Structure 1
Amino acid sequence: MKSYRGYMIDLDGTMYRGKEKIPAAKGFIERLQAQGLPFLFVTNNSTQEPEKVVANLAQNFDIHVTVENVFTSALATADYLADLDPEKRTVYAIGEIGLKKALLSRGFVFEEQRPDYAVVGLDYDATYHKFELATLAIKRGAKFIGTNADTNLPNERGLVPGAGSLIALVERATQQNAVMIGKPATIIMEKALAQMGLQKSDVAMVGDNYMTDIKAGINFGIDTILVYTGVSTPELVAKQAIKPTHEISSLDEWEI
């Protein structure tokens, strides 16, 4: 097995399954910490602040990390927009507090009528009026950004609509495609790598979902480690033209 100087790691399906612990996850993170290897949890979830992610890992899964170990699609979105044009700092955003705080932290000002950017993420209180404002802003020239393309999210009720479903509504209304930030797009990977301060050859993406985690790594040109503790199955992966760099049944199998 190849040794890497850093790891990008998915959360749900890799560190835990919903509210269920994955026993090998805790040990994997503790081995990384013991060796002083940098790692980032790279998650498409734009709704939560990193502090909430850290608290969830500690309280429910006995995995103890810091906010510096968490990189969400909200943070990646804010970083991406901040780097586009220093003169453009107004945004209209559909999303939860995680997204809005990330944008505020990078100096953006919220504007409904003629913003420079219109960002759509998962919003549990989405209304027609919010979609109307986003649609009109894009029609007036705002750059259209989507936090991530996940069409559904698994919860205790089943597969509920995800950010991608809300973004699709605005895409249909505007006849424009959003610039996607989260996995399997590469923008989140680029921004995560910049935060880690490493080279592509130094890093591997670890995840359970071929269609998001592994494709993100493939699209970005880094090695990938698919762990069969979540979404993807060996049968699904066998049908793919490009295989993960490594396939394991448990994180216990990975030698750091």
Structure 2
Amino acid sequence: MVEIKTDTELDAMREAGRIVGRALQAVREHAATGVSLLELDELAATVIAEAGAKPAFLGYLPGFAPTPFPGVICASVNDAIVHGIPTRHRLREGDLLSVDCGAHLDGWTGDAAISFGIGATSPEDLALIEATEQALAAGIAAAQPGNRIGDISHAIAQTAAQGGYGMPADFGGHGIGRAMHEDPHVANHGRPGRGLVLRPGLALAIEPMFIAGGDGRYRIAADGWTMCTRDGSRAAHAEHTIAVTDSGPRLLTLP
């Protein structure tokens, strides 16, 4: 069931989203060569706890996963697209890191993701990250009252096609509110003018995932969670929680 939020409820979601934004900002500032993914996870946990919130990912168990997720953030390195488990692995110069984070505050949820390079970043990785962020911006811009879900999906897919990037077909964005994953599904491929009509009060997590090799195929790592590119090429992920409003899309996960 698709839920429409009131302005008061969206304000509450903004507070949860603000915490997510701060956690991602802290992780990005601390990430450097030699820093472990587990250190970044602990940092995000501290930011969330000090704000009086709870991590949304820790212990999460969707139907496709064999075990509850063990981290506060998803930390996906290089060919990992999403759902990377934070471990003692230490970042290396030139790595591409994608970090996804969610938090619950007073019964409401925020969810966002960023990708960035560690140290000297190759032009190819910078272009991949920039294209993924552009796709996110295009998807958000399409989240106007009266448009449809397919308009968001099409905007993202067009950006991927223009850059020659692939996307995993089975994954995309989602509704969000009291739960992290709510209806509707927001595919990263779609036809304009199709799907659910966007109404003010609809809250969505929009999240393009781009693969440099142009091939959308993926594999699941031995940990049962990490989704990696099949061809070994690098991937980037960008996400914001937004609300459809009469005055245009409202970003809820800025720090």
TM-score normalised by length of structure 2: 0.28
TM-score normalised by length of structure 1: 0.28
**Larger radius of gyration between Structure 1 and Structure 2:** 1
Larger RCO (CA under 8 A, 6+ residues apart) = 2
